[in-house]
Copies of this chain bind each other. A is one copy, B any other.
Amino acid sequence: MSGMWGNKIKLSIFGESHGKAIGIVIDGIKAGTEIDLEYIRKQMKRRAPGFSKLSTPRKEQDEFEILSGYFNGRATGTPLCAVIQNSNTHSKDYEKTASLLRPGHADFTGKIKYRGFNDYRGGGHFSGRLTAPIVFAGALCRKILEEKGIFIGSHIKSIGTIEDSKCFKFTSIEKSSLEKLSESKFPVLDENCGEKMQQYILKLKEEGDSLGGIVETGVINLPPGIGDPFFESVESTISGLLFSIPAVKGVEFGEGFDISKMKGSEANDEYFISDNNVIKTYTNNNGGILGGITDGMPLIFRTCIKPTPSISKAQKTVDIEKRKDALLEIKGRHDPCIVPRAVPVIEAAAALSLLNLMED
């Protein structure tokens, strides 16, 4: 516990990878909010598997059905439940190796936590599939933010050791650039680097290995004053939700870990009054957040995604039933690199966090 999250907007997620369905209940969407199904489908399509050589062949349309809270094209203001059926499941793949702990997965910790009673098939509740409902909820919030002029976008900063040569300009990001990234199946600022990254992923795929990466996200046009000091700081809220996404191992804001290498005189973002009489900073090392509260500069954060633990290479492991060492060769179907599909999930987490922190 808990599969429930939030204050102003509350989420309740449920489901297992090979169960009947996965889904989410969202409470707190204002009555009358237009629900743009096309927009939601577009966001979910960005995450859905099976549509690229870079992702698992498990093809899931991720077609959702809204069971409640939706009437005449709008949110009723009462809890909205959306369900996604699990169609394309190969449970057999898992049963034969059920007692072999997959390294890097939650097989072991899940067995301990749930005392052996959890649904192990395809990772069960731990599956990345559970991020689909989060993208659904995030799309609802993202649309609401866009109507306030707030836009979110990300580029893949690195895949393994290959970096995107370009970087967001922390002090100002173009809306058009964020939109372009959101349209891309493999969002990068430097297409050549993007090409190299994809080639590298395919190469590792052939080797039966996998890769991770870093995603850099920017949010523009946030008003200053969002968030709170201490327990509901913008960083606390966003990081708490980002670390709920399977495979995330690090989160940093602004210059993040590199800010520790600067002197105070370099790190401090000095103020000036811009032409239109808005208070801005010359630099944005703090990533748009001071004292846990937005300062009106672009919100910048980076999320680290570990390599997909599912690889077909043989791995040393333990047979937890027989209680002895063993060798594991995973068949199944897997993503050689989850990073591109993680991008919309990260953005959904940002949208959910920010809407939760905004005063109406």
Min CB gap A247→B, angstroms: 9
Given the known A-B contacts A281-B103, A290-B106, are A249 and B240 also in contact in the complex, defined by CB atoms under 8 Å?
no
Q: List 21 A-B contacts (CB under 8 A).
A: A1-B28, A16-B71, A20-B66, A31-B116, A32-B117, A76-B118, A104-B267, A109-B292, A113-B225, A113-B227, A209-B265, A239-B251, A250-B251, A251-B252, A252-B252, A252-B304, A260-B307, A262-B306, A264-B313, A268-B307, A359-B360
A230 to B32, CA, bound (A): 20
Q: Known contacts A104-B267, A212-B267; is A110 also within 8 Å of B291 by CB?
A: yes
Looking at the assembled complex, report how far the CB atom of A162 sits from the nearest CB atom of chain B, in whole angstroms. 10
Tell me how far the C-beta of A265 lies from the nearest C-beta in chain B, rounded to whole angstroms: 5
The contact string, 1 if C-beta is below 8 Å from chain B, for chain A 232-271, is 1101110111011010111111111101111111111111
Cβ of A293 < 8 Å from any Cβ of B? yes
Binary B-proximity of A287-298 (CB < 8 A = 1, otherwise 0): 101111111000
Interface size of A by CB at 8 A reads 147
A10 contacts the other chain (Cβ, under 8 Å)? yes
Tell whether A167 is near chain B: CB-to-CB under 8 Å. no
In contact, B305 and A268 (Cβ under 8 angstroms): no
Q: How far is the CB of A281 from chain B (nearest CB, A)?
A: 7
Give the docked Cα–Cα distance between A261 and B255 (Å): 19
Q: Which of the listed residues A2, A253, A266 has the most CB atoms from chain B within 10 Å of its own CB?
A: A2
Q: Contact check, A316 vs B119: say whether CB atoms are below 8 A apart.
A: no
Query: Which residues of chain B are within 8 angstroms of A228 by Cβ–Cβ distance?
Result: 1-2, 113
Q: Is A191 an interface residue (CB 8 A)?
A: no
A69 in contact with B14 (CB, 8 Å):
yes
How many copies the complex holds: the figure is: 4
Smallest Cβ distance from A116 to chain B, in angstroms? Answer: 8
Interface string of A312-344 (1 = CB under 8 A from B): 010111101001110000000000000000000
A81 touches B14 (CB 8 A): yes
**Contact call A261/B231, Cβ cutoff below 8 A:** no
- The reply to whether B268 and A231 contact each other, CB–CB distance below 8 Å, is no
Question: With the chains together, A212 CA to B76 CA distance in Å?
Answer: 30
**B229/A126 in contact, CB under 8 A:** yes
- Choose among A5, A227, A263, A310 the residue with the greatest number of B CB atoms under 10 Å from its CB: A263
**Chain B residues whose CB sits within 8 angstroms of the CB of A265 once the complex forms:** 209-210, 311, 313, 315
- Residue numbers of A with Cβ under 8 A of B are 1-5, 7-8, 10-16, 19-23, 25, 27-28, 31-32, 65-69, 71-72, 74-81, 83, 101, 103-106, 108-110, 112-119, 124-126, 130, 158, 160-161, 204, 209-214, 224-225, 227-233, 235-237, 239-241, 243-244, 246, 248-257, 259-273, 277, 279, 281-282, 285-287, 289-295, 302, 304-311, 313, 315-318, 320, 323-325, 359-360
Please determine whether B306 and A103 come into contact, CB atoms closer than 8 angstroms. Answer: no
Q: Are A104 and B286 in contact (CB under 8 A)?
A: yes
Question: Is B108 in contact with A295, judged by CB distance below 8 angstroms?
Answer: yes
Q: Which of A22, A77, A241 has the most CB of B within 10 A?
A: A77
Q: Which residues of chain B come closer than 8 Å to A246, judged between CB atoms?
A: 229, 291-292
Query: Bound state CA distance, A80 and B19, in angstroms?
Result: 11
